[in-house]
Structure formats: structure tokens, C-alpha cells
Amino acid sequence: MSAKYHPGEIEVQERAGVRGMAERVGNGIRPVIPPAAREFLKEQPMVVVGSVGADGRVWASLLACEPGFARALDERTVIIDAAPVPGDPLAENLAAGAGATAVGVIAIDLASRRRMRLNGKAERRPDGIRVRAEQVYANCPKYIQAREWEKVAHNPGAGRRNVRRAGTLTDEQRRRISRADTFFVASAHPGHGADASHRGGQPGFVRFLDDDTLEFPDYSGNTMFNTLGNIAANPDAGLLFVDFERGGTLQLAGEAKVVWEPERAARFVGAERMVEFRVDEVDDALPLRWRFAGYSPFNPSLEGRRGEEAT
């Protein structure tokens, strides 16, 4: 049994034919935060946190503030000086965990397309979160659209949330999702903790199968399959869509499954498999803006989708 991966990840790696490569890539996983990662973390104005509720639902939440709000105190401890906004499930999930909530954290610099992931256990502090690191590693820059963040001095909507948890999204929310070029995924394994990851592509790479079910392509990546491995073991997952220009976020919680049918993947250039997700949702806001600077050169074109026009 691998010390780097749990059975769900190994199952997906084997089915994808990349088991040996995944073991080699997994050598980059560390139990501590290296100096370069500490420097990177403190420069970021945002992190995404994946967490699990007492009911088993998985959520992806965005925390944003001035650079330096997320920082490493030592090689195992990260302090995040930002509390979840009112109504964000992260606050409830941290409270339910009694000081040992499994979380996955991704810090991402959209401008330079750099990112790091940190998985571990978290607890609430009076003004934020403390995370004890268990796994720390970097990811490649693929599929990250370049954006530069801009602070907004006053955002009247930042403290208000219109919370709606159901199986159906509004038409406007579906349009927002269909136009997205970036989102984040939270997933979890019952015995191996939570994870947060990034997904990117050309606008239209997320599409709806019906009112409450969407799908997105899984492109070539680092072969670790942390997200898909978690989904193989536990279908509960959360998606986070960020409106970078206007500052809104849309959190989805539901169930995901990996679709290995070649004919489904063939509809998207570069797709190796598909992920299907059935939705519940929550809507909220954040106090930062990002100016779009360019699509990732790794994004597959959507013009080659078979049997339909790209949108």
C-alpha cells in the first residue's frame, strides 16, 4: 500500500494508466511547509478552503484579505486571519469539528499562475483559523487564467449573503456558471481528510446536463488524482465559482461522479474523462476584485467539441 495515496486515488491512477508516474510525482508531498512555500503564502490575497460538515456535505469557501493574512508561523502551522463571511458553511463546519476539522487549502497567485496546496486539521480562532499541516505540495501552472487582484475599499454586499440550499439554480446562476473559465473543487475521503483544487478552461467548459446537473472535462494534470480519487471513495463534493470582476461567489454542494465513457470525453478537446455533479447552492460575496489578464495557454479549445457548436 502506498504511503502517499489512499485507495481511491490509487484506483483512479491505475484506471488512468499512470500509477508509476503518480508515485514519482508524489515524492513532492511534504509533511512540513518549506521556506519557499511560506514566502509564497504570505504574498497571497486569497485562499480557498475545502471542509466537511457534520452532515457529510463538502464545501469550498473563499477567504480573502490583504496579503499577509495567511501566513506560516512555523513549518507545520498556518494562521489565516480572516473569518468566513456570515452564512458560509465553513464556520459551522469548523465549529462541528471541535478543533480537528479536516480541511484542504489551496493558495493561488492568478497573476503568476503559481499555486500550493496544504491539507491538514483546522480550528477556529477568535479572528480566523489555525491549520496544522499534514500534506504540503506545489502544482503546475496549467489551466490558470491570469488575473491581477484589486482591493475594493468598501463593499456594501460583503457582509450580506442570500442563502439558498436546493437542488435547482436560478437561470442567472446557470449563466454565470456556463460563462466561467475558473472554479474550485473541494472533496474529501472519510479517513484521509479534505482537499481543495483548481479547475480552469475556456468559457463554456462547464455545461449543464439538466437544471441541477452539470459536467466538466478532466484534462491532463499531475497524475495524482487527489480530487477524483476522493470522489471515487466519497461522492460528496463542493464547487466554488468566483465572479472575479464583480466580487460575487457561488458555492455549490452536492454529489459528483467520474465518467469514464470515451464518447462523453470526446465532446471536449483534450478531455481524458468527465466529472458529473448534481447541485445544491449558496450565494455570497467577497471584498476583492481581479482584473482579467489572459487565458492559460494550456486551455484546450472548445471549437473541436463533436456534434455541437462551442459556446
Residue 188 backbone zone (phi > 0: left; psi -120 to 50: alpha; other: beta): beta
pTM above 0.75, yes or no: yes
What's the pLDDT score for residue 140? Answer: 82
Instruction: Report the range of poorest mean pLDDT among 24-38, 244-258, 279-293.
Output: 279-293
Q: Which amino acid type is present at position 226?
A: N
Residue 166 has pLDDT above 70, yes or no: no
The tens digit of pLDDT for each residue in 126-136 reads: 889 999 999 99
User: Rounded mean pLDDT of 260-271?
Assistant: 94
What residues pair up with 125 in beta bridges, in sequence order?
128
Read off the pLDDT band of 310 (50, 70, 90).
very low
Q: Where are the alpha helices (DSSP H) in the chain?
A: 7-16, 19-25, 35-42, 89-96, 171-179, 226-233, 262-265
Placement of cell 456534434 in the chain: 307
Cα distance between residue 187 and residue 195, in whole Å: 5
Residue 262 near residue 137, CB atoms below 8 Å: no
Residue 264: predicted pLDDT? 94
pLDDT of residue 223: 92
- What pLDDT does 2 receive? 60
* pLDDT at site 165: 57
The count of other CB atoms within 10 Å of the CB of residue 296 is: 17
Confidence of residue 13 (pLDDT cuts 50, 70, 90): very high
Distance, CA of 2 to CA of 76 (rounded, Å): 23
Confidence grade of residue 281 (pLDDT, cut at 50, 70, 90): low
Q: What is the pLDDT of residue 88?
A: 86
Backbone angles phi, psi at 232, to 5 degrees: -60, -30
**What is the tens place of the pLDDT at every residue in 50-92?**
999 999 999 999 998 999 999 999 999 999 999 887 778 999 9
* Structural domains in the chain plus CATH codes: 7-294 (2.30.110.10)
Could you give the CA distance from residue 195 to residue 189 in angstroms, rounded to a whole number?
Answer: 9
Res. 159 pLDDT band, cuts 50 70 90: very low
Q: Are strands 77-80 and 70-72 parallel, antiparallel or unpaired?
A: antiparallel
The percent of residues in the chain predicted with pLDDT above 90, rounded, is 64
Closest CA to 234 of 252, 213, 260, 255: 255
- Given phi > 0 = left and psi -120 to 50 = alpha, else beta, which region is 193? left
Q: How confident is the model at residue 95 (pLDDT cuts 50, 70, 90)?
A: confident
Among residues 104, 115, 106, 177, which one has the least CA distance to residue 144? 115
Q: Determine the pLDDT at residue 289.
A: 57
Return d(Cα 58, Cα 2) in angstroms, integer: 25
